Structure 1
């Protein structure tokens, strides 16, 4: 069976897609156990022998997989992805007890609850700012240019056009690039390639507290108290918007 690689960008309907792909490949035993890059910081992120690699993973090892693989990703309006990620983490933080919030793994959620949106995105010490920039600042561009979930620092000093050029080269390695607004195309391609039907269009796990079709970005902007913060946050989407306009013009 052709190997499937789903490069899951956070807040792009990925859990729904993953669940359907598990069925396509024949069950969990054929799925790589590495679903998040932090599970294997020293590698391998793509251990040999599986039919499905799916998750928030680095893909620097993609060339070690069979050549006939089907590698794809799903993109979402960059501003909506930023806002959805923020509100998802906020919802998760609100579920935690005071004791849980003190655990090292929940530092980010504690900061989110205790600080304004302005300070969450643009305050804090350098390590915190690196976390924010890695996860929010033109993530598509960084991820496809470096093949790493937290690769932004590797290209941050490059001219804009070079950053975009490297991201385009990464995207050229995909056999499929889809939009959250038109996942029916993914359903069609899976059926053509694998003879299996999946149902992902219009279905979302971890959708948060907002109606599916409600825009998150305006609600995030409302939380920002400084005009300068709005401008800086808008800049977090500019390069990703260029990429999306080139690849998914509709």
Structure 2
């Protein structure tokens, strides 16, 4: 899974799964551009950090152009930027639905659209989107978030079909509950954060949360030439949650 000579753009690359992916790809030899709404210091001193909001199409166009000019092109796009939402269909108003879908779904379309002119010039182009176990499993208090990730799953398949003729592979990863600062913020709002964390860990057959690096390892595989025959798939990294039904 050597990536020397490849250039990767990672939205949401400043923290969590995006940051873990940036570290892995950089260590594998890739030149990495971290596109994040917050200022992101270089992880090893070699990454390009661009402050960029996936809700802003013009900013994405400028960020991709800056990255391509700095590194001579773009081969890999990892759409990791996303936001959470908690509640049933009764708990979020129209504005919150619009905000989450705009970032989690339309943000992927914007970033992909901005990167495609450069990906089409690559010898081995690939896009990996961040989906979730919530796309295919009914989780309580996750109506809006699940809807957004279900849309990411469907969008990935449609993009893969549209772009396969251009030689561009498109896949997604579907993590279970990942031990990231993002999940930490959700837990902090719970009445019993430690108890809620134990409950989240227990619902995964492995009995623990997934690590961000484990998800990043799956992403590294998908973007590497080793996965050259793989497109239009969703790769679960969920501790067995999507497929195993263990006796209680």
Question: What TM-score does the superposition give when structure 2 sets the normalisation length?
Answer: 0.39
Question: Which is richer in strand?
Answer: 2
* Larger RCO (CA under 8 A, 6+ residues apart): 1
Question: Which is richer in helix?
Answer: 1
Question: What TM-score does the superposition give when structure 1 sets the normalisation length?
Answer: 0.38
Q: Which of 1 and 2 has greater Rg? A: 1
